[in-house]
Structures are given as structure tokens and as C-alpha cells.
């Protein structure tokens, strides 16, 4: 039996080959002695030997023609691109990546952005350009309302971490969920109440058909005037023109954006130069091959021992 390692790496470029080798080295250490196939096989005998596919948004069709495939393990937390592949084999368990190191990095980014908004540090950065000495007001953390959208493993960690710093934190999800120190909100009514009260809104929702374009003119208009948006999930969650209009009108005070509809963000895009936008180059949290490889190894062992796979995707829900 063999394991296919397949991704969107540009293997005709040195950077793409280096990225693939970085993953392969980590996976070799976590799963010694395995037979690894590094591209979608064309030989039927090799295809028949593949039991597991470890993937990083591979080209559509890469997982066709693998008759013994028993597990698709994603190396990325989001599986929206995988789910858009109409050739993705049905009935095969698909597991997303929940990397402890990446989760910790995402918590750090969310804390940094919230602190910078709460304490007016982005405003100070703007003032520095014109040598303006003006102290922003210093509110207590408990006076700053934070709404975290998405209360899965990652969103729950972010919400609890912010609550641990003394912020007034609410967490919204489709279904009721509770976390210690976090006010639980759910449903459209809970979303409306949360958006109206929050000083900072942090987006950690999965990208599904229901959440695509989630931040449109209507939802941005439901923000408390002057509130800020931190988007660390997917660029497709945001209607970019609606956000720019809300920023220009002063209804949204600031946006910290790590993800975009088109990446890299094109040089002429107005986000680059907008005074109320902080652009991050999709670097809020990157999967760490060392810890992620251990997650892959755990699910490989679970498959072979017949025990429960971790972080299995509910395909009907899209995450």
C-alpha cells in the first residue's frame, strides 16, 4: 500500500519543489517506512496501490482512478477548494487539518489585531506619518466588546483567549455552543445582537455556500458604527466593494484583512492604500509541517486500526 502526496505546488519552480520536499521530510519522520507517491499516478498498478491521499488543494481530478483509496487527509484547515472539485471521490472519508501550532499562531494574530484596535495603535501608526502627537483613549478591556464568528475548535480558542485577557467576548455559531467566559450566540437573532454590540468582529467562519459573501452591505450595515472587522478566514467571505463603501462612510472603522478573493492581492487594489485597512499577506497562521505531519500520522494509524478518524468533514455541511 502507498500514500499519495499531492498538492498545488508548482513543481516546475524551485519554490514549489522545496515546499513539497519540506512536507515530505516531515511526513517521513512521522511515518517512517511508508511508500510515498509524489504525483497523481498514470500507471494503473501504482494507482491501485494507493490507500491514502495526503493533499494540499491538488488540481481537480487528481484523486480519480484510485480504486483502493480509503482516506483523503487535507494538509490545510479549509477544505472549500477540495469540496469544489466535482471529481472528488464520494463516500471516502475526508479529514481536515487541525494543526496545534497553526491554531496557536492564529490565536496570536487575533490577539494582536484586537489589542491594536482596542488601544488605537493603528491610529498611532497613521499619526506617525505626519508627526502628530495625539494619545488615543485608553478603555479597559472589559469595555471593549469582541464578537468571534465561528465557534469550532479555532474560534473557540480565540474567544477563550480574548476572554482570558479581560475582553467582553461573544461567540456566534449556527448552532448553540458554549465556552467558558464567552457569551454564546446563535442564529440570525443572535448574529444581529452580536453585530450591533461589538467593537471588533473577528471572522473565523468556514467558507460554505451559506457563508460566501457573508459580509455584504446588509451585514456591514448592521455593525455598530465605527466597529472594526478582522478577517482571518477566507477572502470570499467579504464583499470587497461593500466593505470599501462602509469604510469610506465611516460606518466600519478599520479592517484587518489577511485573506482576499484574489491572492496575491493585486498591486492596484484600493485595500493597499486605504488608510483604514491593514493588509496581511495571508500570514496570520501557516500550517507547520512538523506538527501537521503528526496529525496526518495519527489519522493514518486510526484508519489502519479501525479507530475513529479525527476532524472528519461533514460533506453535506461543507466543513
| pLDDT tens per residue across span 90-129 | 999 999 999 999 999 999 999 999 999 999 999 999 999 9
Shared domain for 94 and 231, answered yes or no, is no
The CATH number of the domain holding residue 210 is: 3.40.50.720
User: Using 50, 70 and 90 to split pLDDT, how confident is the model at 252?
Assistant: very high
User: Using 50, 70 and 90 to split pLDDT, how confident is the model at 301?
Assistant: very high
Do the domain assignments include residue 319?
no
Indicate the DSSP class of residue 168: E
CA dihedral 103, 107, 108, 109 (to 10 degrees): 100
Task: Quote the domain boundaries for residue 135.
Answer: 101-279
Is 274 marked active-site?
A: no
Q: Which residue is catalytic, options 234, 237, 254, 311?
A: 234
Do the domain assignments include residue 177?
yes
Shared domain for 122 and 258, answered yes or no, is yes
Shared domain for 122 and 217, answered yes or no, is yes
Shared domain for 181 and 299, answered yes or no, is no
Do the domain assignments include residue 269?
yes
Q: Indicate the number of domains in the chain.
A: 2
pLDDT at 195: 98
| pLDDT greater than 90 at residue 296 | yes
Do the domain assignments include residue 78?
yes
The length of the chain is 319
Shared domain for 274 and 298, answered yes or no, is no
pLDDT at 166: 98
The answer to whether 105 and 53 are in contact (CB under 8 A) is no
Shared domain for 66 and 106, answered yes or no, is no
Shared domain for 87 and 213, answered yes or no, is no
| pLDDT greater than 90 at residue 319 | no
Shared domain for 95 and 182, answered yes or no, is no
Write down the mean pLDDT value for the chain: 96
Sheet harboring 2-7: ordered strands across? Answer: 36-37, 2-7, 50-56, 71-74, 94-95
Do the domain assignments include residue 316?
no
Model confidence pLDDT, tens digit, residues 44-70:
999 999 999 999 999 999 999 999 999
Shared domain for 129 and 253, answered yes or no, is yes
Q: Rounded CA gap, 55 and 287, in Å?
A: 13
Helix 100-118 and helix 153-164: axis angle, to 10°?
40
Do the domain assignments include residue 233?
yes
Do the domain assignments include residue 116?
yes
pTM to 2 decimal places: 0.94
Shared domain for 108 and 180, answered yes or no, is yes
Do the domain assignments include residue 317?
no
Burial track 191-206 (b if 16+ CB lie within 10 A, e otherwise): bebbbebbbbbbbbbb
Q: Which residue is catalytic, options 174, 261, 274, 282?
A: 282
Shared domain for 293 and 274, answered yes or no, is no
User: Using 50, 70 and 90 to split pLDDT, how confident is the model at 314?
Assistant: very high
Shared domain for 111 and 49, answered yes or no, is no
User: Using 50, 70 and 90 to split pLDDT, how confident is the model at 318?
Assistant: confident
User: Using 50, 70 and 90 to split pLDDT, how confident is the model at 152?
Assistant: very high
Model confidence pLDDT, tens digit, residues 127-143:
999 999 999 999 999 99
Amino acid at each position: 500500500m502507498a500514500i499519495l502526496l499531492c498538492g498545488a505546488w508548482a513543481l516546475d519552480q524551485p519554490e514549489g519543489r522545496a515546499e513539497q520536499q519540506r512536507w515530505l521530510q516531515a511526513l517521513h519522520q512521522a511515518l517512517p517506512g511508508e511508500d510515498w507517491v509524489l504525483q497523481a499516478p498514470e500507471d494503473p498498478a501504482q494507482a491501485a496501490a494507493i490507500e491514502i491521499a495526503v493533499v494540499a488543494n491538488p488540481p481537480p481530478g487528481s484523486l480519480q482512478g484510485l480504486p483502493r483509496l480509503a482516506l483523503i487527509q487535507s494538509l490545510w484547515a479549509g477544505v472549500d477548494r477540495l469540496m469544489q472539485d466535482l471529481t472528488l471521490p464520494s463516500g471516502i472519508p475526508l479529514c481536515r487539518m487541525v494543526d496545534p501550532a497553526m491554531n496557536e499562531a492564529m490565536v496570536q494574530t487575533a490577539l494582536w489585531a484586537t489589542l491594536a484596535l482596542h488601544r488605537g495603535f493603528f491610529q498611532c501608526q497613521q499619526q506617525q506619518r505626519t508627526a502628530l502627537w495625539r494619545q488615543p483613549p485608553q478603555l479597559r478591556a472589559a469595555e471593549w466588546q469582541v464578537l468571534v464568528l465561528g465557534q469550532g475548535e479555532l474560534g473557540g480558542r480565540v474567544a477563550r483567549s480574548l476572554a482570558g485577557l479581560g475582553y467582553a467576548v461573544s461567540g456566534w455559531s449556527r448552532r448553540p455552543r458554549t465556552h467558558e467566559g464567552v457569551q454564546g450566540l446563535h442564529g440570525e437573532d443572535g448574529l444581529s445582537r452580536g453585530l450591533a454590540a461589538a467593537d471588533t468582529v473577528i471572522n473565523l467562519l468556514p467558507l460554505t455556500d451559506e457563508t460566501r459573501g457573508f459580509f455584504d452591505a446588509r451585514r456591514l450595515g448592521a455593525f455598530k458604527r465605527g466597529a472594526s472587522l478582522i478577517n482571518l478566514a477566507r477572502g470570499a467571505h467579504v464583499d470587497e466593494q461593500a466593505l470599501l463603501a462602509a469604510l469610506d462612510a465611516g460606518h466600519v472603522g478599520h479592517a484587518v484583512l489577511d485573506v482576499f478573493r484574489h491572492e496575491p492581492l493585486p498591486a492596484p487594489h484600493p485595500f493597499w492604500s486605504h488608510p483604514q485597512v491593514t493588509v496581511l499577506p495571508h500570514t496570520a497562521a501557516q500550517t507547520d509541517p512538523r506538527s501537521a505531519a503528526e496529525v496526518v500520522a495519527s489519522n493514518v494509524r486510526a484508519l489502519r486500526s479501525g479507530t475513529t478518524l479525527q476532524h472528519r468533514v461533514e460533506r453535506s455541511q461543507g466543513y
